[in-house]
Chains A and B, each alone.
Chain A
Amino acid sequence: MQKSKSELQTEIKKRIAVIKFWDRVFLIIGLLSTLVGLVLLFTLMADLFVNGFPRLSYKFLSSFPSRFPEEAGILSAWAGSFLVLLVTALASIPLGIAAGIYLEEYARKNWLTDIIEINIANLAGVPSIVYGLLALGLFVYFFKFGESILTGGLALALLILPMVIMATREAIRAIPNSIREASYALGATKWQTVQSHIIPYSTGGILTGVIIGLSRAIGETAPIITVGALTFIAFLPTSPFSSEFPFISFKWLFDPFTVMPIQMFNWVSRPQQEFQLNAAAAGIVLMIMTLLMNGLAIYIRYRFRRKIKW
C-alpha cells in the first residue's frame, strides 16, 4: 500500500527529531568535558591565589628562605631559576636552530634523515628525569661542572632541545619553496638564502617554540633535583659583574643554586601550615612567570603572522 504524503512528512519529521536529539546529547557531553578541565584548572588557580596572595609582597620576593615562615622569601629561588634559564636559552637556542636549519635546508632527504627525524620526536617524549640522569653522568661526573647552575641549565637545555629543533623545522617548512627558488634564481648561495630568507622568515615560529620550551623548563623539577640542586640556600650566586678588570665574571656558572619548583617542594613538605602558604605564594609567582612567557610567545607569533602571510 502506498503511504500518503502527510504520513511520509510526519515520518521524516520524526527522524529529524531523533537525529537532532543525538546532536544535542553530543553537545552536552562536549560541553561537560570542556567544563571539567576548565573548572578544575580554575579551582586550582583560585585556591592557589586565596592561600598565597596574602603572603605576596616585595619582602617575599627579596628575602632568602628562613626557618621562620613569615620571614622566608624566594630571592635565591627566582634568581636561580632566572640564571638556570639563561644558560638553558643560551645553549639550546643556537644548537636547536642550527640543527633544525641543517636538517631542513642542507641534509639530503633519505632514510638517515628519516631516522633522525623520528628520534628527535621520540626524544621530546623522554621523561625529564632521564635527562636529569644523563646530565648527572655527563656534566657532573664526566665534565666535572659540579652541582652548579651550568649543569642545571645544560640539563634543561637538553630537555627542550628537541622542542626547539622541531619548532625550527616546522617554521622553516612553512616557507614556500617559491621563495627559496626566487633567491637561488638571483644567484644566491645556500648560506645567503638561509641568512637573508630562511632565518628571518622563520624567526616568529622559532621564537614561539623556544619560549614555550623555556616555559616548560622553568617548571621542571625532576632533572634539577637529579643534578643536585640544593633545597635550602641562603645566598645568591656570584655576581656576573665586578668592579675590577675584566668586569665580567663567569664564576656564577659554577655556584650551587635552587630553583622555584624546588623551593616550593621544600616548603610543601614541611609540617607547619605557614610554609604551605609560602609554597602557594611561590606557586603564584611561578605561574605568573609561565603565563607571561606564554603570552610573549603568542604576541610574537601574532606580530610575525601579521607581517608574513604566505
Chain B
Amino acid sequence: MVKELKAEVKKLNFYYGSLHALKEINLPIERRKVTALIGPSGCGKTTFLRCFNRMHDLYPHNRYEGEITLYPDNINIISPEIDPIEIRMQISMVFQKPNPFPKSIYENVAYGLRVRGVSKRAVLDEKVEKSLRGAALWDEVKDRLNHLAFDLSGGQQQRLCIARALATDPRILLFDEPTSALDPTATSKIEELIIQLKDEVTIIIVTHNMQQAARVSDYTAFMYLGEIVEYDKTDRIFTAPSNKLTEEYITGRFG
C-alpha cells in the first residue's frame, strides 16, 4: 500500500511569549488515517493540535517557527504570509467540551457555510442533512432542526459540533479530547464515528485516554515535555514501543 501524506510537520517550534512549548517537532500526517497524539497533561498535545488551524493567532505573544506543509498544494500552514482564516476554512476543529452556538440545530451546522457566503436555502438544506448524517445525528434530530442546540444531550451536542465541522468539507479534521466531557455510551458513539469518518477525511486526535487512541487511531505519536518521543503505527506503539519512556507511559507507570 502506498503511503500518502496529507501534511508534514517539519522542525516546528512554538512559543507562548518566552515559554518554549513545542520543540523541534517532526511528524508526518497520513492521508485518510487517524493520527493520535498522546502524552501526560501539559506535554503540549493540545498546543500542537491548535497549530494546525492557527488558533494561536487569536492571542497575542504567540510565535511559530518551522513548517507544517499541507499537501498536495504545498502550502505552509504556519507561514505568517498565509491568512489564518484561509487555513481555518480548510481545517476544522472539534473541541474538548461541546460548544454549540445558542442557535438552532440547523443554524449551528449551516454557520460555517454562511461564513463562506452560502445563503441559498437548497444548498444549505442539502449540506446540513449530509453533515448531520455524516455525524450520525440526522435520525435523532431531523424532526426538530429548528430547536435550540442546547436542548440536545452532551453526546448529541458533540456530534452536532462534528457535523458543524464537517459541513465545510475540511481537508483535515482536528479533535481535541472530544470525549473527555462525555459518558461512556456517548464516548463509544463518537469513537465509532471517528473510525467511519477517516474514509473521507484525515483526522488528528488528541486524547488523554490511551485505550481510545488504541481503538480509533492508525498512527500514534507520544509526546512528552513539548517533544515527540515516539511515532509509529498504533499497534506497534501499544505492543512493542521502542522507547523506554513510551513504554512506561503506556503501561501506566507515569502520566
Contact B88 A182 (CB under 8 A): no
Contact B55 A186 (CB under 8 A): no
* Per-position 1/0 for B70-108, Cβ under 8 A of A: 000000000000000100110011010101111000000
* Per-position 1/0 for A180-195, Cβ under 8 A of B: 1111111111001000
A-B contact pairs, 23 of them (CB 8 A): A108-B60, A178-B99, A179-B101, A182-B95, A182-B161, A183-B111, A184-B58, A184-B88, A185-B88, A185-B93, A185-B95, A186-B115, A186-B165, A187-B85, A187-B89, A188-B85, A188-B115, A189-B85, A189-B115, A196-B114, A197-B101, A201-B102, A309-B150
Q: Does B131 count as interface, using CB distance less than 8 angstroms?
A: no
Q: Does A15 count as interface, using CB distance less than 8 angstroms?
A: no
A183 to B161, CA, bound (A): 11
Contacts of B115 on A, CB cut-off 8 Å?
186-189, 192
Contact B58 A181 (CB under 8 A): yes
Given known pairs A181-B95, A184-B88, A189-B85, the reply for A308 and B111 (CB within 8 Å) is: no
Q: Which residues of A from 122 to 178 have beta carbons under 8 Å from B? A: 176, 178
A17–chain B nearest beta-carbon distance, Å: 49
B102 closest partner in A (C-beta): A308
B97 closest partner in A (C-beta): A178
- For the side of the interface on B, what is the size category? 20 to 34
Contact B55 A185 (CB under 8 A): yes
A284 to B226, CA, bound (A): 69
Contact A181 B102 (CB under 8 A): no
Q: Does B214 count as interface, using CB distance less than 8 angstroms?
A: no
Which 4 A-B residue pairs are closest in the complex by CB-CB distance?
A: A187-B89, A178-B99, A186-B112, A187-B88
* Per-position 1/0 for B38-78, Cβ under 8 A of A: 00000000000000010100101000000000000000000
B114–chain A nearest beta-carbon distance, Å: 8
- For the side of the interface on A, what is the size category? 20 to 34
Contacts of B97 on A, CB cut-off 8 Å?
178
Q: Does A307 count as interface, using CB distance less than 8 angstroms?
A: yes
B204–chain A nearest beta-carbon distance, Å: 14
Contact of B168 among A180, A186, A307 (CB under 8 A): A186
Contact A187 B116 (CB under 8 A): yes
Q: Does B195 count as interface, using CB distance less than 8 angstroms?
A: no
A196 to B148, CA, bound (A): 16
A286 to B124, CA, bound (A): 51
A108 to B115, CA, bound (A): 25
Contact A179 B99 (CB under 8 A): yes
A302–chain B nearest beta-carbon distance, Å: 16
B87 closest partner in A (C-beta): A187
A176 to B150, CA, bound (A): 14
A304 closest partner in B (C-beta): B102
B201–chain A nearest beta-carbon distance, Å: 15
Contact A186 B88 (CB under 8 A): yes
* Per-position 1/0 for A288-310, Cβ under 8 A of B: 00000000000000000001110
Contacts of B99 on A, CB cut-off 8 Å?
176, 178-179, 181-182
Q: Does B198 count as interface, using CB distance less than 8 angstroms?
A: no
Q: Does B164 count as interface, using CB distance less than 8 angstroms?
A: yes
B211–chain A nearest beta-carbon distance, Å: 26
